[in-house]
Structure 1
């Protein structure tokens, strides 16, 4: 099955997502798109569509699994991909995810089956980034829930879709301004951003890609491989989007980049009215003062995330994840400094490397590392508020035994 490449394209911005899929079908010969429509879940089924550039080639339905449309998608997707691989006629399978389906789970399911995921792409309309990050509505209220138990919101779902993908297919939106583009760039600074319109000078959108070393349209006007186009496998000259579909994807590295202990968080930035504050601290938070400040901290930015520690639970790494005016705090396992030496051999190298970068002679890898990104961010006021939540000199000097007796308001979050 190694001849089949699988590119996963997702995102809540449906128009941008559909445009990206259509471009890939037009630009990559022998490509097909698979889409599972979860909107039919209320009827007890998920509808599957397979199509190529000429149109629909196959349809089918699969029943829900445990009353979960997303589970049905996972159960049906791999057999369909395996069928395409066995046929030997498909070069690229484009898995177009339904609106609220997150790419991480799908990429891991496909990779675990032995198929080759060559790209994960989230399609984005820059003008919609802030409205979606500010939308705290439940997916169920919008008809986008993947299961009866789905309690996700529009904002946190969109944030995960955006931040997991190493490639962002960016729509050419007339409504987007410099602030919108700056916000997108700061939310995911390491992403490869590929334009969905005008990315091949001299070639109309959707024009076929020349193969076998033939010049791409526009080459006579000075467009060479690497300048608005790229050379892909088998001598195919591609647009940046089609090239990104074959770029390669590491499922384990992508998961590590999202794990709270070693997440690759944004760096400080300030451009076009959008700022990113990276706040760090070594002392633990006073649990009661931090809890009292949660509403102000959560509403201070369109998006905030990171890891932190509390004085009353010094061995627990806590994950901070906020969007849409809502905050999720979760325990993400122990800090490495709290583990016996023998346990370190069981820790992934990427986690040990991240801990080494943050190592402190007294606290080990325990640290405060929170990142806030938003238009109009009050960086100084936010930093003062965070600083005020740390232990004072006297509280810090009292030591761990005294810390353990502090109030424990975060038990509500952590269900202790």
Structure 2
């Protein structure tokens, strides 16, 4: 029987992993330190015993594939994994998805003082001194938003301000929250609802409103739901993307550009970081849809996206027009 895993993520983690470990007798505590990963060195502790690993190619995926996944497959116990701050739990769960290791919960620690500034900024991990490898161009926002969004429960370092709380309500409405000063690790795990993610994924064509977040704006935080059956003009969409990189915490959704009539693209942003990928062929009856969490006037987002949709005339002539398409190949941008 493989391990049952509780992952603890976050830029600031304090002793949350230790509390979860102590709350679960006979569990194993695993820690990773990736600060020297760019040099091919990974430090790993298992119940306090240090192992220094030297990888031929220092990268996050190699760390998961060559170390963490085999380790967890070898353990028959509950394992509390204290993830290095630069690791995103979604990537870890993806690496575990083909194994018998079961993810019981993902816990993310949120620094209530700095999280919202990080989540809406454009600073890169490299600029923060946390770059995992030479090719790591992720932004701080992409990491902290992903960590909070994918969590089954959140631990906050202190009571957040009203705006941060409103953002978290819309980013991850299902996750129970506890204050670090009053942390009850056992109760936190028990409060995770039955329909929590627990490391699971969808195929990109499922609901974008996981957990039914509030639709009514609060404290200047809005949830914009944009849906359109007509495709986007590729160049106008490329220009409109700028509106999603300023005053926006998160954008997620499926888009269709007229120059790629059969392909569904996945567009995702956090703060000033943008990713665009290819989901493959559109299922029958699906329309494009974007969900945006923003701290600015939501009308500016809706108007920009509406203006990027093709006109009736462009749609009628789509087979004859030669569109310049910056989305011709999936890509990742850091802005």
Question: Shorter chain as normaliser: what TM range?
Answer: 0.7 to 0.9
Per-residue CA deviations over 1:185-240 (Å, capped at 9, x if unaligned) read 1112233334434355xxxxxxxxxxxxxxxxxxxxxxxxxxxxxxxxxxxxx732
| Count of residue pairs the alignment pairs up | 329
Q: 1:270 to 1:250 in 2, by over 3 A?
A: closer
**TM-score (norm: length of structure 1):** 0.70
Q: 1:155 to 1:313 in 2, by over 3 A?
A: same
Conserved in 2, the CA contact under 8 Å of 1:265 and 1:306?
no
Q: 1:25-174, aligned counterparts within 5 Å?
A: 25-51=21-47, 56=48, 58-68=49-59, 70-82=61-73, 84-85=75-76, 91-110=77-96, 112-165=98-151, 167-174=152-159
**Which residue number corresponds to residue 204 of structure 1?**
none
- Match for 2:168 among 184, 194, 197? 184
Q: Unaligned 5+ residue runs, structure 1?
A: 86-90, 201-237, 338-358, 360-364
Q: Does 1:20 align with 2:30?
A: no
**Which residue number corresponds to residue 292 of structure 2?**
372
Q: 1:244 to 1:80 in 2, by over 3 A?
A: farther
Q: 1:27 to 1:411 in 2, by over 3 A?
A: same
Inter-partner Cα distance in structure 2 for 1:292 and 1:111: 36
Deviation at 1:320, TM superposition (A): 1.3
- Match for 1:390 among 280, 291, 309? 309
**Which residue number corresponds to residue 243 of structure 1?**
190
Conserved in 2, the CA contact under 8 Å of 1:119 and 1:248?
no
Per-residue CA deviations over 1:77-114 (Å, capped at 9, x if unaligned) read 244445542xxxxx531011101112123224445342
Q: 1:286 to 1:106 in 2, by over 3 A?
A: closer
**Which residue number corresponds to residue 328 of structure 2?**
411
**TM-score (norm: length of structure 2):** 0.85
Q: Does 1:401 align with 2:313?
A: no
Deviation at 1:159, TM superposition (A): 2.2
Q: Which stretches of structure 1, 4 residues or more, deviate above 6 A after TM superposition?
A: 245-251
Q: Secondary structure at the match of 1:299?
A: coil
| Larger radius of gyration between Structure 1 and Structure 2 | 1
Q: 1:327-366, aligned counterparts within 5 Å?
A: 327-337=274-284, 359=285, 365=286
Q: Unaligned 5+ residue runs, structure 2?
A: none
Deviation at 1:129, TM superposition (A): 2.5
Q: Secondary structure at the match of 2:142?
A: helix
Deviation at 1:279, TM superposition (A): 1.3
Q: 1:199 to 1:149 in 2, by over 3 A?
A: closer
Q: 1:126 to 1:30 in 2, by over 3 A?
A: same
Per-residue CA deviations over 1:294-344 (Å, capped at 9, x if unaligned) read 32343252322211111221211111111222322222211123xxxxxxx
Question: Relative to structure 2, which stretch is displaced further, 177-186 or 26-35?
Answer: 26-35
Q: 1:157-236, aligned counterparts within 5 Å?
A: 157-165=143-151, 167-174=152-159, 176-198=160-182
